[in-house]
Amino acid sequence: MDDAVPFARMNGIGNRILVADMRGRSDRVTPEAAIALNADPQTRFDQIMAIHDPRAQGTDAFIDIVNSDGSRAQACGNGTRCVVQALAAETGRTTFLLQTVAGLIEAREHEDGMISVDLGAPRFGWRDIPLSEEFHDTRRIELQIGPIDAPVLHSPSVVSMGNPHAVFFVDRDVFSYDLDRFGPLLENHPMFPERANISLARVLSPEEIQLRTWERGAGLTLACGSAACAAAVSGARTGRTGRTVTITAPSGGRLTIDWRESDDHVVMTGPAEWEFSGMLSPVTGAWRREAETSGARAS
């Protein structure tokens, strides 16, 4: 693997992340490499966070985000925490300014190891999300799954957290719904021209939400940071919660989401965890663990 780059397998409360160091290179992780890496149980992932050289003055890196189906994503909150932990370990610094196609992200590693990521202000305009139809009030839009007179899911809140989200508030446990069947239909619904992340949110109290997400380009996931932010914002917008909530993901991991009144920014705080390191080809997806010396993919 002459073209190999360092990578780390990490997770953010169960969200499976590969952090790849693409600094010093002009190419990108190919869709073919992403699909090959995701096909291997040891490197299966929700997102690849590829760290590139800075593109904007004053930033520390540009982050290219790749989904497990090879498509690109605009934002990934849990993956961003993994990037911050990796950069903090490398540099000894605790604050970073990162750029994605969705904009600039400020992030900080705290003394207790928790990492806060400022995902900026949510966007609620139907063109900004985007939707294919005009809705004046995006707190609830006309969209449902199931019979007209007894829909299984209906009237989601929609919002952009740099990527499009639809949040269905439900009264039962989020695991009692067949999200693996509804998720692909809703992700690819004509309402969402750029597809959408689909979440089920159950409000447990004004300070806590149980969440389950079908992630655009990745499918069912144990956690999704931007979806947690979308659920928190949507809960506050619809009067179900306050502006600071704890989100519990299917992994059992928890995130604190604070939708600040001072500047309208959404700040997510939670952990990141390193699992193992190695080298990978951003062209083919061939890889090896750090301790291995052969060029073959690990098995």
User: Which amino acids are annotated catalytic?
Assistant: 76, 224
Burial degree of 147 (CB within 10 A; 0-12, 13-18, 19+)? exposed
Question: What value, to the nearest 5°, has the Cα angle with vertex 257 and ends 251 and 262?
Answer: 170
Task: Write the DSSP symbol of residue 291.
Answer: T
Q: Which helix (H) or strand (E) holds 185?
A: helix 179-187
Phi, psi (deg, nearest 5) at residue 188: -100, 15
- Structure token digits, residue 34: 């992403």
Closest CA to 208 of 174, 240, 251: 240
Residues contacting residue 111 through CB under 8 Å, at least 6 positions apart: none
Q: How many angstroms separate the CA atoms of 138 and 159, rounded?
A: 7
Q: How many angstroms separate the CA atoms of 66 and 74, rounded?
A: 9
Contact yes or no for 267/258 (Cβ under 8 A) = yes
Q: How many angstroms separate the CA atoms of 79 and 85, rounded?
A: 10
Phi, psi (deg, nearest 5) at residue 220: -60, 135
Q: How many angstroms separate the CA atoms of 256 and 268, rounded?
A: 6
